[in-house]
Structure 1
Amino acid sequence: MMKKEKCESLEQVRDRIDHLDQELIELIATRQYYVDQAVRFKRTAEDVQSPERVQQVINKVRQKALDVGTNPDLVEMLYREMIQHFIQRELKEIRP
């Protein structure tokens, strides 16, 4: 994880944000890689959609957001969107 540091210019701020965006995209791609593996262990649409697992993940990321001092509602919204995308992706594998 990139160390937080005070920036001395707008250009430096933008450079740090661009670097973080690259890291976030790589992390999302890695998460997708593991989601793609998980589908091998799921047999039904119910296994894929698993509302209790979704809620477990949401609860966990909301708490992590609070722990680091960021907005848990924003984090939840981002995760719900990402999870929904991955569920749709998995459903295509289960029932092409």
Structure 2
Amino acid sequence: MKKDKVENLEQARAQIDVIDHALIELISARQFYVDQAVRFKRTTHDVQSPERVEDVIKKVRGAAQDQGVDPNLIEHIYREMIHHFIQRELKELRP
């Protein structure tokens, strides 16, 4: 995403609003694929998959570092998101 300097607070807030909308669209797409993935999982361990969680965390921490973003912040956000999606999957697996 291209980053341009802004001239005032209103411009900064407008750009933040655009980014927030894009983030929500991306999270929605991630949720869509999580919902698709649950069809291929048979057990609670398949859903919780601690190895996969740690692999994702490792990747996003690295990407955060590459982008100059605090890896601890990104890890916190991803762990929360992953926890939410796991709970969602578990409901689907065990209605």
Is the TM-score greater than 0.5?
A: yes
- Count of residues paired in the alignment: 95
Partner of residue 6, structure 1: 5
Query: Does the alignment pair 1:81 with 2:85?
Result: no
Structure 2 length as normaliser, TM-score? 0.99
Aligned equivalents of 1:14 and 1:76: distance in 2? Answer: 25
Deviation at 1:48, TM superposition (A): 0.1
Structure 1 unmatched runs, 5+: none
Displacement over 3 Å in runs of 4+: none
Map of 1:8-27 to 2, 5 A cutoff?
8-27=7-26
Question: Normalization by structure 1: what TM-score?
Answer: 0.98
* Residue 65 (structure 1) shift: 0.2
- Post-superposition offset of 1:16: 0.1
1:12-91 residue pairs with structure 2 within 5 A?
Answer: 12-91=11-90
The one-letter amino acid paired with 1:13 is A
The CA RMSD measured in Å over matched residues stands at 0.4
Compute the displacement of 1:59 (Å): 0.2
